[in-house]
Amino acid sequence: MGEVENFLAKGISALSMERVSQMLLLQVRMELSTVKALFGGNGLERACLTSQGHTWNMLIQFVTILAPQGSPDTDGIDPDSSSDLCIQDCYISNGDDMIAIKSGWDEYGIAYGVPSSNIYIHRVTGQTKLASGFAIGSETSGGVSNIQVRDLKVVNSKTGISIRTNVGRGAYIHNISIENVELVNVGTAISLLGSSGEHPDANYNAEAAPDVGSISIQNVYGNTLDRPGRIEGIPENPFKHICFSDINLQTGSGLLSTWKCSFVEGFSAQVSPQACPQMLNDNQVEASKCFPALIGGSCQTSFS
């Protein structure tokens, strides 16, 4: 058994990222059956794959992560203050976020100051009873930008797409592109929240409002059990350039068929049920700010 496999078999929640930078491209692109054997039924209590601090040029592919659906804190893959990553062709069934991008917590993340950026997530399928298929945050104090998600399928889960932060985090969430998402029996399809998550202590800066904008979500379809979405920005710094297109969701009736929105500016086109008034296309948001061109390449070009 190789060095990475030994780490995983022991159920370590956070791999040493200096070592992973040396080992990852050599061994984490492992056979699917090998990873199943490592993760299946070993009682992991924390995140299965968590990168913490200054990770780059990482490829995670053909990985299956399994944890009980009711188990808390069993995140699948959590890149934290990491850049130039590719996650693709994975299956994740767990009790917390399938994939969650983070970059530090309040004043500690601000002081560390290392963002997560240039992360590409393609062809990931899974389910999570208690959390989200794809998430950003809520720990985003180093900044998160240039994230691309494509071909995501989430079934029997609480939330499909979740982007969350809080006053005290500071920094930014910019240039996020999410497209081609299938949702099956998901509580809430899309959730963007500016008041989410706890603080590590009482020393956070209550005036450090994060800047959230240039987020595009396109071609999302399926059915929701709760409501199509919630977009609740920050009063002192509303979310800007939040853009939806080609979203078709089957919902319940009454309140279950409506979006819940506040402190947000954006654009929507071909969205059903109709998006909230703050995001109707007569707001004339510039298309270039709605659908940002991501910097860099893709999994295919960056990790060939």
d(CA 39, CA 41): 6
Nearest CA-CA partner of 229 in 194, 275, 196: 275
pLDDT(128) > 90: yes
Question: Higher-confidence residue: 176 or 13?
Answer: 176
Are 63 and 38 within 8 A, CB to CB? no
Percent of the chain residues past pLDDT 70, beyond the cut = 73
Radius of gyration of the chain (CA): 18
**282: how many CB neighbours lie within 10 A of its CB?**
7
Tokens of 208: 């450090």
**143: how many CB neighbours lie within 10 A of its CB?**
23
Q: Which domains are assigned to the chain?
A: 3-302 (2.160.20.10)
Residues in the chain: 304
pLDDT(47) > 70: no
pLDDT score of 103: 93
pLDDT score of 13: 34
Question: Higher-confidence residue: 121 or 284?
Answer: 121
- The 10s digit of each residue's pLDDT in 173-201 is 999 999 999 999 999 999 999 998 888 88
pLDDT(296) > 80: no
d(CA 231, CA 260): 6
pLDDT(148) > 90: yes
pLDDT(286) > 80: no
Tokens of 24: 């990852």
pLDDT score of 289: 65
pLDDT(75) > 80: yes
pLDDT score of 152: 98
pLDDT(288) > 70: no
pLDDT(293) > 70: no
Which active-site residues does the annotation give?
96
pLDDT band of 287, cuts 50, 70, 90:
low
Point out the least confidently predicted range of 20-34, 60-74, 138-152: 20-34
pLDDT(2) > 70: no
pLDDT(36) > 50: no
pLDDT(94) > 70: yes
pLDDT score of 257: 81
d(CA 236, CA 259): 22
pLDDT(24) > 60: no
d(CA 108, CA 168): 11
Are 122 and 88 within 8 A, CB to CB? yes
Q: How far is residue 72 CA from its own chain's centroid?
A: 17
- The 10s digit of each residue's pLDDT in 226-283 is 889 999 999 999 999 999 999 999 987 666 788 999 999 988 989 999 998 888 765 5
pLDDT score of 70: 85
pLDDT score of 49: 55
Question: Reduced to 3 states, what is the DSSP secondary structure of residue 27?
Answer: helix
Question: Higher-confidence residue: 241 or 20?
Answer: 241
d(CA 66, CA 126): 10
